[in-house]
Amino acid sequence: MQLPENSVILITGTVAILASILYLREYFLRKKIIESQKEVYLETKQKSAELLAAAFEAESEIVSGGNWAAKKLISEYSNRLQNLIDGSRDSIISAQDQLINFMRDLQKRSLDFEQASKVSTEKRISQTFERLEQKLSDFLIQTEQKTAASIELELKSTRSLIETYKNAQLKLIDENIIAMMEQTLSIVLSKKLSLKDQLDLIYEALEKAKVEKFIV
Amino acid sequence: MNNLLAIILKDTFTLAQLNSRVRVLKSTLLNEFFGGSQTQLTAGEMSWLSSLPPDAKSKFNKDNVYKIFEEIEKAIKLLPTLTIYLTFEPDEPTIFKIGSFARKLYQPNILLDTKIDMGLIAGCSLVWKGRKKDYSLKSRLDEKKGEVLENFKKFLR
């Protein structure tokens, strides 16, 4: 469907007029809001300044009042502290006295203990020395006895050894004497003994063997 | 055979002498029967051979000579032998005397085996069937060693 060209122009114009009206309305509305905001701001600022002044004033009052209270408080604290220090000093002096007494008592006890310990130690040392002396004496006696026995044994052994050696030497001498005699006899008899004597000895041996029934 | 051994033993008193004479007789007979080289004989051996009675050799011939000597050697091993240790080297007459005495005293066929031991000084020691008996002067000295020593020491003092 086709509208006539005039109608279009008319509608467009109407819309444009309406848009301009709306724009203007919005523009003035906003301008009014901004102005009202400015007023509120100024009012707020003024009230803030008033409040700040009041606050300063209140602060000054409080500070002046606070100083006095603080001085009073310090004074009270000072008095109390002095009292407390005085009380503590007494307590400390008392404790110090007690400590001194305790130390004296401790010193006395320590001296007593030291004395008792000294006596006990001396007694023990004395006993130890007595025991040591006794043991040493016993040991010396035993050693003396053992030494004497050992020397006696050694002497006995030496005497026995000498006796054995003497006997061995005597036996050796005897053997040498016999050997010398035998050799001498052998030399002499081989020269001096006649054939007849030799034969007689052999006959004698053969007869003796028969008598003894050595040859059967 | 026993007869021949008895003939040989009549004047043979030691084992060494007997072995030697049997060896000489055997060698001579073998030489006679089979020929070959004759061992050189000493004067004593020749004298002994000639002293044998003629019938002693007549029993031998080529066939029995080895057998007879084998039997003689066996018989010699069975003869009683007395080992006698002397202090001198005995000559034949001395051996004859000792041997004759021993045969008179013990057995007629006993043989002597003589050995030398100069350590005996004088006399002799005898070994019979493995046992030894010392009849020498040394043995007597050993028996009386104490007494001899005592006397000697007395003599020295």
- What ipTM did this prediction achieve? 0.87
The mean pLDDT value of chain B amounts to 90
Residue B43 lies in a domain: yes
pLDDT of B115 > 90? The answer is: yes
Chain A residues with CB under 8 Å of B86 CB are 198, 202
Query: Which domain does B99 fall in, by range?
Result: 81-143
**By three-state DSSP, how is residue B38 classified?**
coil
Q: Do residues B18 and B41 both lie within one domain?
A: yes
Average pLDDT of span B116-134: 94
Q: Do residues B10 and B58 both lie within one domain?
A: yes
Q: Do residues B74 and B56 both lie within one domain?
A: yes
Q: How many Å apart are CA B110 and CA B79, to the nearest integer?
A: 7
Which of B31, B50, B78 represents a domain boundary (last residue)?
Answer: B78
Residue B157 lies in a domain: no
Q: How many Å apart are CA A135 and CA A130, to the nearest integer?
A: 9
From the list B82, B88, B137, the residue facing A215 with the nearest CB is: B82
Residue B124 lies in a domain: yes
Q: How many Å apart are CA B31 and CA B65, to the nearest integer?
A: 11
In terms of pLDDT, which residue wins out, B149 or B87?
B87
Which of B26, B59, B78 represents a domain boundary (last residue)?
Answer: B78
Q: Do residues B7 and B65 both lie within one domain?
A: yes
From the list A178, A186, A209, the residue facing B133 with the nearest CB is: A209
Q: How many Å apart are CA B87 and CA A190, to the nearest integer?
A: 8
Read off the pLDDT of residues B76-86 as tens digits, 9 standing for 90 and up. 999 999 999 99
Nearest CA-CA distance, residue A174 and chain B, Å: 7
pLDDT of B114 > 90? The answer is: yes
Residue B155 lies in a domain: no
Which of B37, B58, B78 represents a domain boundary (last residue)?
Answer: B78
pLDDT of A66 > 90? The answer is: no
CA-based angle B106:B109:B112, to the nearest 5?
80
Read off the pLDDT of residues B134-154 as tens digits, 9 standing for 90 and up. 999 999 988 988 888 888 888
- Of the candidates A135, A155, A133, the one whose C-alpha atom is nearest the C-alpha of residue A143 is A135
For helices B65-78 and B15-34, the axis angle rounded to 10 degrees is 180
Residue B154 lies in a domain: no
pLDDT of A181 > 80? The answer is: yes
Q: Do residues B98 and B114 both lie within one domain?
A: yes
Q: How many Å apart are CA B12 and CA B24, to the nearest integer?
A: 13
Read off the pLDDT of residues B24-78 as tens digits, 9 standing for 90 and up. 999 999 988 888 777 788 888 889 988 888 888 888 888 999 999 999 999 999 9
Q: How many Å apart are CA A161 and CA A173, to the nearest integer?
A: 18
What pLDDT sits at residue B1? 52
Q: Do residues B74 and B35 both lie within one domain?
A: yes
Q: Do residues B58 and B91 both lie within one domain?
A: no
Confidence of residue A2 (pLDDT cuts 50, 70, 90): low
Residue B103 lies in a domain: yes
Q: Do residues B72 and B103 both lie within one domain?
A: no
Torsion angles phi and psi, residue A141, rounded to 5: -65, -45
CA-based angle B138:B141:B146, to the nearest 5?
150
Q: How many domains does chain B have?
A: 2
Q: Do residues B87 and B117 both lie within one domain?
A: yes
Confidence of residue A53 (pLDDT cuts 50, 70, 90): very high
Residue B92 corresponds to which tokens in the numbers above?
Answer: 């034949």
Chain A residues with CB under 8 Å of B136 CB are 205
Name every residue whose Cβ is closer than 8 Å to that of residue A163 and which is 6 or more positions away in sequence: none
What pLDDT sits at residue B101? 96
Q: Do residues B74 and B89 both lie within one domain?
A: no
Confidence of residue A187 (pLDDT cuts 50, 70, 90): confident
Q: Do residues B71 and B115 both lie within one domain?
A: no
Average pLDDT of span A132-155: 94
pTM for the predicted model, two decimal places: 0.56
Q: Do residues B117 and B87 both lie within one domain?
A: yes
| Residue in A184, A185, A206, A207 to test binding to B, most B beta-carbons within 10 Å | A206
From the list A186, A205, A207, the residue facing B121 with the nearest CB is: A186
B144 touches chain A (CB under 8 A): no
